Structure 1
Amino acid sequence: MSRTLAPVPGLPPDGEPVPRDGSLPARALTRVGEQGFGLYVHVPFCASRCGYCDFNTYTAAELAGGVTRDSYAALVLDELRLAARVLDGTAPKARTVFFGGGTPTLLPADDLVRILDGIDAAFGLADDAEITTEANPESVDPAYLSRLRAGGFNRVSLGMQSAARHVLAVLDRKHSPGRAAQAAVEAREAGFGHVNLDLIYGTPGEREEDWAASLDAAVAAGVDHVSAYSLIIEDGTRLAARIRRGEVAMPDDDVAADRYLAADAALSAAGLNWYEVSNWAADTDARCRHNLLYWQGGDWWGLGPGAHSHVGGVRWWNVRHPSAYAGRLAEGASPGEGREVLDDADRHVEDVLLRLRIVDGIEVSSLAPPGQESAARAVADGLLDEPAFEKGLARLTLRGRLLADAVVRDLLPD
């Protein structure tokens, strides 16, 4: 089990240079928003660095006098103005906006609302736009959440990870075990219609009963969405170093599979049904529409250092360090560091890779003949749903979700 494509992965790929003015090929501009349009806002600040995290984030000590929280909103608004110039009226109103990080809620709530207002002025927000911010449980309180809600935010995603104190300690999480659930209650009381809790399973030292308690606590919090991810050990992280030194054990794949099955059983019993391999929601309205934008091949502009964007078949990524990001913008230049123009074959591979992970699946007819043959074998092996296959769809079974990456490889033979 692994996370899907993220807007700020650990390391960017190679690519061609981004034009200084950030301009896009004319063909890309004719295709903006065909599958929806949204914006991602990366906030690279963290109070402390979690031991498992390789995202593009910085503590105050790591920035060492560079870009500050107080100056950050103005920088994002500078890039937003560049985005509006580049797209020049070609983009539809934004259906989703997602503030991620890092910890967006380390910024003042007024700054997050200011950025959101800037997005509305630049592109417009759809009447039913989904506006999400990630938050660490200790970085919000009722007053902060109420200000966000009044400013237009309607969804919050809280990093819970675990209800076990010793598991949080291995992950270097700073909040107390019960704080995430309490923050979820506060968010609902502030008027948020949609609240997610993020969980991580497979942490060294996590017991079966620890995971069961975490699932119970998430359900008891009354949220309408839960994301559950297997712990991935990323090179260069503090946790990877601890494993190399033998201080903690490497996560076990068989244990991770058992944890996933336990999650699906507990969440399904609570009325939260899977709609993507690592995500469960109470109903269609509770699904994260911003993430669906990624999984269904939509367009988004990523604002902030290290943020990735995808518009009209062009993907690009910004320089990673906040100071370099600020420097580019101060020169009136795009902060983009590199980009790649996807051809039809690239887009097909990504479409299969991402769409297969969601409950809607993919049309079998979209696969090449060898892939269609592989799909038939996957049905026989219990990896794809037989009734769906008979209707022309490749849809993962529960067993198939455990082996999703292998199923994708078989459906995309060389």
Structure 2
Amino acid sequence: MAGALPDGDPVPRDGSLPDEATREVGKNGFAVYVHVPFCASRCGYCDFNTYTASELGGGASRDEYAETVLAELALAARVIEPGPVDTVFVGGGTPTLLSTDDLGRILDGIDRTWGLAPGAEVTTEANPESVDPAYLRRLRGAGFTRVSLGMQSAAANVLRVLDRKHTAGRAPQAAIEAREAGFEHVNLDLIYGTPGESADDFERSLRAVVDAGVDHVSAYALIVEDGTRMAGRMRRGELPYPSDDVAADRYLAAEAALGDAGFEWYEVSNWARGDGGRCQHNLLYWTGADWWGLGPGAHSHVGGVRWWNVKHPSAYAKRLSEGVSPGLARELLTDDDRHMEDVMLRVRLRDGIPLDRVDATGAARALSDGLLEPHAYDEGRLVLTLRGRLLADAVIRDVL
């Protein structure tokens, strides 16, 4: 089950924002995130704000969910006028548990409310077992341009430890089906460092990703979150805790295999074939754009104000049925907050960050330790080397 939301100041009942926050909304880009909180089953490592049928209880219906999201969108339209939407990302949960008609209604509502920019990137996440060729064709026809599939591994033993329900070969096959359905942009997600995963297991996963012909790969080290089933198993000694050394070896293997296949890193945990393969939605997050998050537990950011919705789908639906903002709390980011977050995110990007945005002493130390690219440094930018990517968190601490 997802962790508790942070504390903050109350959100006005109508969801209104300070004038200074809305004055230049969308100036640096505008995105919409839609959270779909439903899952057929819960993975052992997952602490996202998601619910299986048995966990939902009363007052929340998957069949009525699109209408509830559209009610929040109507409220949002009264609060801001951001101009065209550059990207839409539907995440979860498992968004593809909704019908393509419902996903299309939500996308159409966003277009009618704010307008989609020409060539807007529209992504949905999907579990491999939740889609088939016909569903993917309808999804493409509804206006989605990109699909992100949760593969995690091509090794059956690793999938069992993660409590994933799809077979080892299903995710690459779903990626091929997505391309055949007309999706030019397809991502496969990998998790590495799972207990019991061998180097050969991960190499097999990387080969499967490359052979699937996708243009984007995300690969993240396993993080064990408190309160998850996996954390309990580790606490009881049933599974070993992840190893930092193994995670580093896996990352180097990913860089080598993906680089040989024509992928380039553009964020520490993300690789794409060419600039066109990069996830534009995430880039907007990472470069300080505004976005509105629709759905229970969704976070939003507009003009230095960040807020988050109530977590449970029934509480979310109840507030909107009463004409009240589903926002639980919010915070006004200070200049120092925004600078810190800007550094934390941009340092992880291949494009890096101007040196005048970071601590000079820390940057010089990172350069001498071989963590920064000398050529970029000479040109006034901080860009991580491969070794620097392995130690990105330490570099961020130094340059802050």
Q: Shorter-chain TM-score: which interval?
A: over 0.9
What is the deviation of 1:373? Answer: 1.2
Q: Alignment partner for residue 319 of structure 2, among 316, 328, 332?
A: 328
Post-superposition, which runs of at least 4 consecutive aligned residues in structure 1 deviate over 6 A?
none
Residue aligning to 1:112: 103
What is the deviation of 1:9? Answer: 7.6
Q: Alignment partner for residue 141 of structure 2, among 150, 158, 161?
A: 150
Residue aligning to 2:23: 30
Alpha-carbon spacing, 1:279–1:11, altered in 2? closer, same or farther (3 Å): farther
Which consecutive unaligned segments of at least 5 residues does structure 1 have? 1-7
Residue aligning to 1:3: none
Residues 117-173 of structure 1 show CA distances to partners (whole Å, capped at 9, x for unaligned) of: 000000000011000000000000111111111111010000000000010000000
Q: Alignment partner for residue 380 of structure 1, among 352, 359, 368?
A: 368
After the TM superposition, which residues 41-60 of structure 1 pair with which residues of structure 2 at under 5 Å, given as runs?
A: 41-60=34-53
Q: Alignment partner for residue 349 of structure 2, among 358, 362, 366?
A: 358
Q: Are residues 1:252 and 2:243 paired?
A: yes
Residue type at the aligned position of 2:264: N
Residue type at the aligned position of 1:21: D
What is the deviation of 1:408? Answer: 0.5
Q: Secondary structure at the match of 2:105?
A: helix
Percent same amino acid among aligned pairs? 70
Q: Are residues 1:302 and 2:310 paired?
A: no
Residue aligning to 1:275: 266
Q: Are residues 1:214 and 2:205 paired?
A: yes
After the TM superposition, which residues 183-262 of structure 1 pair with which residues of structure 2 at under 5 Å, given as runs?
A: 183-262=174-253
Residue type at the aligned position of 1:383: L
Residue aligning to 2:59: 66
Alpha-carbon spacing, 1:209–1:203, altered in 2? closer, same or farther (3 Å): same
Q: Alignment partner for residue 392 of structure 1, among 370, 380, 396?
A: 380
Q: Secondary structure at the match of 1:82?
A: helix
Q: Alignment partner for residue 92 of structure 2, among 101, 104, 112?
A: 101
Report the RMSD for the aligned CA atoms in angstroms.
1.0
Residues 58 and 314 of structure 2 are in contact (CA less than 8 Å); yes or no, is this contact kept in structure 1?
A: no
Q: What is the alpha-carbon distance in structure 1 between the residues aligned to residue 57 and residue 125 of structure 2?
A: 25
Alpha-carbon spacing, 1:10–1:388, altered in 2? closer, same or farther (3 Å): farther
Residue type at the aligned position of 2:397: R
Residues 371 and 384 of structure 2 are in contact (CA less than 8 Å); yes or no, is this contact kept in structure 1?
A: yes
What is the deviation of 1:343? Answer: 1.4
Q: What is the alpha-carbon distance in structure 1 between the residues aligned to residue 143 and residue 102 of structure 2?
A: 13
Residues 310-352 of structure 1 show CA distances to partners (whole Å, capped at 9, x for unaligned) of: 0111000000000110111011010000100111111100000
Alpha-carbon spacing, 1:207–1:214, altered in 2? closer, same or farther (3 Å): same
What is the deviation of 1:188? Answer: 0.3
Residue aligning to 1:13: 6
Q: What is the alpha-carbon distance in structure 1 between the residues aligned to residue 107 and residue 65 of structure 2?
A: 14
Residue type at the aligned position of 2:65: Y
Q: Alignment length, in residue pairs?
A: 400
What is the deviation of 1:10? Answer: 4.0
Q: Are residues 1:182 and 2:167 paired?
A: no
Q: Secondary structure at the match of 1:133?
A: strand
